[in-house]
Amino acid sequence: MTTEVRSLREFKMPDVGEGLTEAEILSWYVKPGDTVTDGQVVCEVETAKAAVELPIPFNGVVETLHFPEGATVDVGTVIISIAVAGEAGVAAPAAPAAAPAQAPVPAPAEEPEPERREVLVGYGPRTGGSQRRARRTTTTKVAATRPAPAAAPAPVAAPAPAASAPVAEVPSGERPLAKPPVRKLAKDLGVDLRAVTPTGRDGVITREDVHAHAAAQAAPAAPVAETAVAEPAAPQAPVSGAGDVRVPIKGVRKATAQAMVASAFTAPHVTEFVQVDVTRTMKFVRRLKESGELGRDVRVSPLLIVAKALLTAIKRHPGINAQWDEAAQEIVLKGQVNLGIAAATPRGLIVPNIKDAGSRTLSGLATSLGELVETARQGKTSPADMQGGTITITNVGVFGVDTGTPILNPGEAAILAFGAVRELPWVHKGKVVPRQVTTLALSFDHRLVDGELGSKVLADVAALLERPKRLITWG
């Protein structure tokens, strides 16, 4: 007697973007019992950079969805199990119902995976350091058997855990489970991770655990009887009032916050400003729209001319297109300009970039800019489009804002803010007349961009916008 042998194959959360460690499952497109085929999209996830659809790399029937929608899952964690048909063979005797542990099929982890199509950035066969270390199974047991803390009769009992000995949560000689940023936070706060009680999944220590432990250590050891009669301890978190709404910090918002803090407190920012008469540029934009020279479906805007002006200024002053390498103690002069455009989306601020923008014609740049903006608005920007940027433009003028002091995109040397275009009194040919004027602001990393270089770049952009014909002679 022959029968078809089925085995379970596990699909893990892939690294859909370089350096990402987790992703949130936005929606499942399949359910247990559904048949799936190689390359079929089974779910949509949101990383710290974008929303991405995940295809399954083999055929089979959905057995288990390991996480619900809205769950945040670490890269390398199994998210779905698929029953896969194997070779036909002699059927093994049915195992008794009382012995489900006797699986007739060897563990599929030993089988080599078939060649798959690389349909995602960072997706496909990967080996070595990209895999997360295996979780210790004993950690969960320790957390499960941990006695619950005694209920506090008064708020002053909150510091009590500091006096207890949570060190027993981590066996002697074993390293506590925590991500690198959490370890750095603990080091900065002087917290011994071995003394922290973990609340994360699988016994992982979170940032909140470290902050709570540090707060408990810093709390004064006042007599309980005295403070219980006096006043309650100050809350360690903001108090919510009527009508307050708490929004979890995750996804793009979380990544943006971390990136902005890292940039603001790593790169010494300098911002310079200049007002410029862009009347000729606005006329140039209108002529391009009316003539259709760049293509019938190509969107022409003042931002296009600003982008071309910045790229031209970079050609004249390539030192602005650079990166500071702290580890190697080197300044990296980038070989091509990957121009980032800051875009506000429903998920938050993202900065996709146009690869090798400096080599594009005005028509090619307009096409790429239009595609980039439309893709960002639809929330379909891929992680690859947000990696490798070298310089950025932020168009704050669309919000009616004159200017600002933009924060550098991490790893970049400069960012240009383009303000609102307004009709203002301006001295033109010896007379005060109404002209269309905007304000430009250039922030740059003063470690590798001196004031002279930054000033020359900003002045060149202003000169090009004042007389756009210079794009021909300077380009």
Catalytic residues: 446
* Alpha-carbon span 54 to 64, nearest angstrom: 16
CA separation, residue 374 to residues 369, 370, 390 (Å):
9, 6, 21
**How many helical (H) and strand (E) elements, i.e. helices and strands, does the chain have?**
11, 19
* Alpha-carbon span 118 to 100, nearest angstrom: 37
CB atoms within 10 A of CB 292: 11
Q: Which residue has the tokens 């295996």?
A: 134
Q: Which residue has the tokens 């710290």?
A: 48
Contacts of 416 (CB under 8 A, 6+ apart): 306, 310, 391, 392, 393, 394, 406, 440, 441, 442, 458, 461
Enter the DSSP assignment of 198.
Answer: P
CA separation, residue 410 to residues 48, 91, 265, 432, 469 (Å):
14, 59, 11, 42, 33
Q: How far apart are the first and last CA of the chain?
A: 78
CA separation, residue 299 to residues 165, 363, 397 (Å):
65, 10, 17
Contacts of 459 (CB under 8 A, 6+ apart): 274
DSSP 256-275: HHHHHHHHHTTS-EEEEEEE
User: Exposure of 165 by Cβ count < 10 A (0-12 exposed, 13-18 middle, 19+ buried)?
Assistant: exposed
274: its two tokens: 């200049």
* Alpha-carbon span 360 to 355, nearest angstrom: 10
What count of Cα atoms within 13 Å lies in the side-chain half-sphere of residue 461? 31
* Alpha-carbon span 174 to 165, nearest angstrom: 16
What count of Cα atoms within 13 Å lies in the side-chain half-sphere of residue 445? 25
